Amino acid sequence: DPAGPNDPVLVVDGGSSGHQTFTLVQLEALGTTTITLDEPFVKKRQSFTGVPLSKILARAGIAGGVKITTHALNDYDYANVASAFTGSEALLATQRDAARIPMDQGGPIRIVYPDGTALSGVLDAWNWSLASLSVTSGDGT
């Protein structure tokens, strides 16, 4: 079932702010942007709207040199230093082609990367059905 308006969809652990949860509305209130990119799994151009991961990390007080792990609803994990995500302009997408992303298509949140960035070609980094981000090494500040 899709998340309700008051249901948390993202948990962020670590950094100077400790443990935080976000609903879709709270997440999008941080400020959204829209990018169009070549989606590597469906192999077509699509537009994604979401919150730049850099905004989430800044709000959580997570510094660029620490390792963070993204964790999906299906228990898939991807880890890298925070600066790799922000350097590739990671976007926590909440919409695809101006509509919410269905759960069975990787929603409600997917991490996507603009064409030509370092992680745009690293398919493991394209975590969908994202549930949480956590600091896994370093002090997070």
Whether residue 141 has pLDDT greater than 50 = no
pLDDT at residue 137 in the model: 81
Round to whole Å and give the CA distance between 134 and 129: 15
Instruction: Please name the helix (run of DSSP H) or strand (run of DSSP E) that holds residue 136, with its range, or none.
Output: strand 130-137
Average pLDDT on 36-62 reads 95
Mean pLDDT of the chain: 92
Q: Which residue type occupies 16?
A: S
Round to whole Å and give the CA distance between 134 and 82: 10
Kindly state the DSSP code that residue 101 receives in the 8-state scheme. Answer: P
Considering the entire predicted model, what is its pTM? 0.92
Please name the residue that has the structure tokens 């600091």.
135
Reported as a single tens digit per residue, the pLDDT across 78-133 is 999 999 999 999 999 999 999 999 999 999 999 999 999 999 999 999 999 999 99
pLDDT at residue 139 in the model: 54
pLDDT at residue 1 in the model: 65
Please give the radius of gyration of the chain, using alpha carbons only, rounded to the nearest integer: 14
Reported as a single tens digit per residue, the pLDDT across 30-40 is 999 999 999 99
- Between 9 and 15, the more confident residue is 9
pLDDT at residue 80 in the model: 96
